[in-house]
Amino acid sequence: MNTKAGMAEGNHTTVHEPVFFHMDIDAFFASVEQLDNPSLRGKPIIVGGTGPRSVASTCSYEARVYGVHSAMPMAQALRLCPHAIVRPSNMKRYTEVSRIVMGICRNYSPDVQQISVDEAFLDMTGTRKLMGIPREAAARLKKEIHDITGLTVSVGIGPSRFIAKMASDYDKPDGLCRVSPGKEILFIDAVGLGKLWGVGTKTRESLIRHHITDTVTLRACELSHLVKLFGAAQGEFLYNICRGIDSGIFSHDSKSHSISSEMTFAADVTDTDILHHYLLQMSHEVMFRALDEHVMARTVSIKLRSPDFVTVSAQKTPDEPLYSAEQVFALACELLAKKHRSFSPVRLIGVGLGQVYPGDVPQQEELFDSGYKKKRKLEQAVLGINRKKGGSVIKASLLETPDG
């Protein structure tokens, strides 16, 4: 297990200071494939389709050393790493493993915010008497997840969700990094401008053109100057991030029950086919989480974020109840078509289910009789079979080849 803290590690956190963990499963999809097929361990794995317009959903660390990354066209990924082994996406299996990991996380905190199939925030504030000091609790969490699932995770600890997220990214894979209260700026300077979360290649190039080459120089800029250069949203974000201030990007209202997933791309995405690929992947993820939790939802939403941190969202509540991932995907694509025309490129995309309520049948079910009801029963059956078999049974064809 890697551990990094250095000058970001301070005195022990007091009982009442805010403490957040960010748990990130390392190379999740590829790691599950290697877990289910031990012969793949230590080899470059790319998860995605094989069609002419297929996309690499994720890849193992062995493939990443060749420059492969998520959302990359599969043809390009295979040019970079021609000996890679391509495995089709199996969201049902990934969701089942994710359920186990998230269940372990909920044994450590009463407030777990799952933001995707492989990431979650744990609010550990006030848990020290029960769980011990943060670093020891995080180490136990990592060990328990590995002992039960065979997967490694990276955990970041910080006084805010934003710092915890950056801390987990700073020390991957199998890492544990703690940033103590008051050490945020030291940590930001250690990360450096080139690896600050949310600062992409185009933003860095623009900063350099304005002679802003490191976090110290960025911190010397007045807010009004950054807003003038980059606009209100991105200017305020840059002003806050170089000071380690949480801008509320990962804000969480624990009172509102929703199920969502989001994906931040390594590079800006303009290709609608790539966006559709991830909408389908996330539609299956959120629906299988809803099935697993025995809940129904009334509303589908999407979220888009641009490279300059402008965020838009849209939602729709259909007349029919939401029975299947196919239905969620269709509504998400409809919402994307309305927003994407005037909102490109995209740096982050998300899908969510809202107005969630307990049960496996919709309210006023007798009013509806659609094919989606049969699809939900099929998906429930597949989820049950996957649990018994512990592996792949049925895969969504579009997850394998976005062009169908």
Q: Is pLDDT at 303 greater than 60 in this prediction?
A: yes
Q: Minimum mean pLDDT among 33-47, 59-73, 363-377: which range?
A: 363-377
319-338 tens-digit pLDDT: 877 888 889 999 999 999 98
Residue 119 known to be catalytic: yes
From 2-6, 87-91, 166-170, 314-318, the region with the lowest mean pLDDT:
2-6
* Binding site members: 24, 118
**Is residue 11 pLDDT above 80, yes or no?**
no
- Please check whether the two domains, 198-241 and 259-400, share a CATH topology: no
Looking at residue 160, its pLDDT comes to 93
Return d(Cα 117, Cα 169) in angstroms, integer.
Answer: 16
The 3-class secondary structure across 348-371, one letter per residue, is: EEEEEEECCEECCCCCCHHHCCCH
Mean model confidence pLDDT for the chain: 84
- Contact of 188 with 208, CB cutoff 8 Å: no
Tokens (6 digits) for 290: 């809803």
Categorize the per-residue pLDDT at 372 as very low, low, confident or very high, splitting at 50, 70 and 90: low
Looking at the domain 198-241, which fold is it?
Answer: DNA polymerase; domain 1 (1.10.150)
Closest CA to 203 of 123, 309, 336: 309
Residue 363, pLDDT above cutoff 60: no
pLDDT above 90 covers what percent of the chain?
Answer: 52
Binding residue ranges for Mg(2+): 24, 118
Residue 10 has pLDDT above 80, yes or no: no
* Residue 396 predicted with pLDDT over 60: no
Task: Give the per-residue pLDDT at 292.
Answer: 79
Q: Domain 259-400, what architecture?
A: 2-Layer Sandwich (3.30)
Residues 265-284 pLDDT 10s = 877 888 888 899 899 989 98
Q: Is the pLDDT of residue 393 over 70?
A: no
Query: Residue 6's pLDDT is what?
Result: 43
Residue 299 has pLDDT above 60, yes or no: yes
User: What's the pLDDT tens digit per position in 117-152?
Assistant: 899 999 999 999 999 999 999 999 999 999 999 999
pLDDT confidence band for 382 (50 / 70 / 90): low
Q: What is the pLDDT of residues 246-259, one digit of tens each?
A: 877 676 554 447 88
Element (H, E) at 295: strand 295-296
Q: At what angle do helices 272-293 and 91-105 cross, to 10 degrees?
A: 50
Among 33, 62, 96, 119, the active-site one is 119
The continuous run of DSSP H or E covering 286 comes out as helix 272-293
Nearest to 49 by CA among 92, 90, 80: 90
* pLDDT tier for residue 314 given thresholds of 50, 70 and 90: very high
pLDDT exceeds cutoff 90 at 350? yes
Pairing between β-strand 112-116 and β-strand 119-123 as defined by DSSP bridges? antiparallel
| CA 66 – CA 310 distance, rounded (Å) | 32
Residue 239 has pLDDT above 70, yes or no: yes
What CATH number should be reported for the domain whose range is 1-179?
A: 3.30.70.270
Domain ranges of the chain: 1-179, 198-241, 259-400
Query: What are the residue ranges of helices labelled H in 2-149?
Result: 28-36, 61-64, 74-80, 91-105, 128-131, 134-149
